[in-house]
Amino acid sequence: MTDFQTTTEIIHAAQQRLHPTIWDYVTGGAETEMSIRRNREAIEALAFRARVLRNVVDIDTSATLLGTPLRIPYFLAPVGGLQDVTERGAAAQVSGACAFGTLPVVSSVSQPALEESAAAGGGDKWFQLYVRGDFDWTTAILARVRAAGYRALVLTVDVANYGNRERQKLQRFVPGGRRGAGGENFQAALDWEMLDRIRGIVGLPVIVKGIQAADDAELALEHGVAAVWVSNHGGRQLDHAIGSLDVLPEVVAAVRGRVPVIVDGGFMRGTDILKAIALGATAVATGRMHAWALAAGGESALRRMLELVEFELRTAMALLGVTSLAQLDPSYVRRADPSVGRGAFPLLDEFERLAKAEPPPAR
């Protein structure tokens, strides 16, 4: 897997190896998929203001998130149905993340069981919960989470109904995390009162994932959450949502440094991550990127993907004139025209031509 020199190669390998229905499950979103596009457009609509003539020999890419040291401020969001993507499922996610030095968040709708996934890596890990049963069911799950050694609980709150994902419907594909589940009415009864009950019994820090407005960030703090996670579920739930990076500043302003702010939604490059950090995020989470890496070659490809993102981070930090993430602030970015962007991987469609091109003759 060390032969991968770019993340583009990893995604190409994933596309070649995955069955088309699984590729579309990982890659697609809800209805018109406008929320996916807006996530990328929000990122591409920010340009850097680089500073020069600064000594950038020693660069520190590390961060800390709720006491967990991160080699880079990029960690692995929960992805349902990882067993459809790679043979070891969430266990490969945990193993690869811990071996690299970042944080895996295990989805409650990925296999293997939460205990086996937790045992796959020696570092800190979090568990993500969908509240899909009665409170006795929830209590039993939380007891297992504590016993397995997870350090925090992530409560996903943007799935009152399961998103209308037309790619899946057109292919009559039911992902692993949905098999055996009930109807589209997924978590319609989940509310702030239920959050309080869960916090009261779990005995772990609770992170609310799916915040899309400053108003709800304020409410989350009132209800004692340990961190606020800005997310529109990677564009897989509500269509025509605001891009996550466009939501981030208002949430950061509402939180005022009282708890960490996490963000996901289209962040695939080192430069993407630095834009979020400059706007006040503590850390950035990846969903599709690590699913693609696992599809390309399991945990070793996942580690390689993280190494390549780390290289991108170091390169961009040096060229920005900063040596630590703490030096970044909004002065390093400004609005630009997103229409000039070609997406995170503009060479993916040209991969075959580029890979087969003969080098120029030596002179």
Quote the CA–CA distance of 99 and 113 in Å, as a whole number.
20
Quote the CA–CA distance of 288 and 275 in Å, as a whole number.
19
Q: Which homologous superfamily does the CATH classification assign to the domain defined by 7-333?
A: Aldolase class I (3.20.20.70)
DSSP assignment of 99-128: HHT--BEE-TTSSS-HHHHHTT-SS--EEE
Q: What Å distances lie between residue 316 and 69, 76, 343, CA to CA?
A: 21, 21, 18
Q: Looking at residue 107, what is its pLDDT?
A: 97
Given a contact cutoff of 8 angstroms between Cβ atoms, the answer to whether 114 and 89 are in contact is: no
What are the 10-residue block averages of pLDDT along the chain, 363 residues in total? 88 96 94 96 97 98 98 98 96 98 97 98 97 87 98 96 86 70 66 96 97 98 98 96 98 98 98 98 98 97 98 98 98 89 88 83 75
Give residue limits of the domains in the chain.
Answer: 7-333
Question: What is the DSSP code (8-state) at residue 60?
Answer: B
Question: What is the DSSP code (8-state) at residue 44?
Answer: H
Question: What is the DSSP code (8-state) at residue 360?
Answer: P
Edge-to-edge, what's the strand order for the sheet holding 74-76?
74-76, 283-286, 261-263, 227-230, 206-211, 152-156, 126-129, 105-106
User: What are the residue numbers of the active site?
Assistant: 233
Quote the CA–CA distance of 174 and 176 in Å, as a whole number.
7
Three-state secondary structure call for residue 84: helix
First to last CA, the chain: 32
DSSP assignment of 222-243: HTT-SEEEE--GGGTSSTTPPP
DSSP strand E in the chain: where? 46-48, 63-65, 68-70, 74-76, 105-106, 126-129, 152-156, 206-211, 227-230, 261-263, 283-286, 333-335
